[in-house]
Amino acid sequence: MRPDPAGGKIRCEATLERELRARGFHAVAGVDEVGRGALFGPVVAAAVILDPDRPVRGLNDSKQLDAERREVLAGRVRERAVAWAVAAVDAATIDAINIYQASRVAMRLAVTRLNPGPDFLLVDAVSIDLPLPQRGLIHGDARCHAIAAASIVAKVYRDACMKVWDEIFPEYGLAAHKGYSTPEHYKALETFGPTPLHRLSFEPVRTHSKFPIDYSPQLDLFETAGAT
């Protein structure tokens, strides 16, 4: 990574991928997840092996892009990548194993669905339980093209799911806030209670459940702070 001379910010580049290819790796996959901090729905992960001969310009952390730009870039990634895959872990599983482990499961599943498979993984912040060489990068989606591509593909996929679920649960405003913590979402939870697709292991959901939930200290392990 290097500073942008125009604004002093870190630029998202393909430096790591080039270095790994120079070391003999031929299928470097970027892996990322979205939805860790949401109160509703699954956590979604994507894995992408970019083609160095078919670059996608403008890749960056999906959170830094507007929805229209993400859609355009996701289409280009899916069209030009050597391989890409998406996987999701639902709310019930998140409640059963906790959001951190569910995120890792989703990322592992996405990687295993790549065809051809990767020989090195670049992952946003965490490790994946696979016998592959890998490197976790803090803020990887803002530093690395392959991870940024995965972030964009995962975000577009999850947002599309939210639009479908918004038609099923129109009272909650899912198309607007995508299941995250907003005043609108809190108000809907207070009024209507959680749906079957809300994450009961998350305190704001549990508080507004219409059915009694026995508290267990283990539920504290399920909370997430600062998640994307």
Neighbouring C-beta atoms of residue 210, cutoff 10 Å = 7
Domains defined along the chain, listed by start:
15-166 (3.30.420.10), 168-222 (no CATH)
What gap in Å lies between CA 10 and CA 3, rounded to an integer? 5
Task: pLDDT tens for the chain, 228 residues: list them.
Answer: 333 334 445 678 888 999 999 999 999 999 999 999 999 999 999 999 999 999 999 998 788 899 999 999 999 999 999 999 999 999 999 999 999 999 999 999 999 999 999 999 999 888 999 999 999 999 888 889 999 999 999 999 999 999 999 999 999 999 999 999 999 999 999 999 999 999 999 999 999 887 755 545 444 444 443 344
Sign of CA dihedral 12, 13, 14, 20: negative
pLDDT of residue 209: 87
Residues whose CB falls within 8 Å of the CB of residue 139, separated by 6 or more in sequence, listed in order? 10, 61, 124, 125
Q: Is 196 exposed, middle or buried (0-12, 13-18, 19+ CB in 10 A)?
A: exposed
d(CA 197, CA 2): 41
Peptide bond into 116 cis (omega under 30): yes
Sequence-separated (6 or more) residues with CB below 8 Å from residue 153: 46, 48, 74, 77, 78, 84, 86
The structure tokens listed for 201 are 């292991």
Q: Which residue has the tokens 């292991």?
A: 201
Neighbouring residues of 202: CB distance < 8 A, sequence distance ≥ 6: 39, 99, 222, 223, 224
Tokens of 181: 């913590």
Nearest in space to 29 (alpha carbons), one of 154, 155, 147 = 147
Residue whose C-alpha is closest to residue 48's, from 19, 23, 14: 14
- Strand order of the β-sheet with 28-34 is 83-89, 43-49, 28-34, 120-124, 134-137
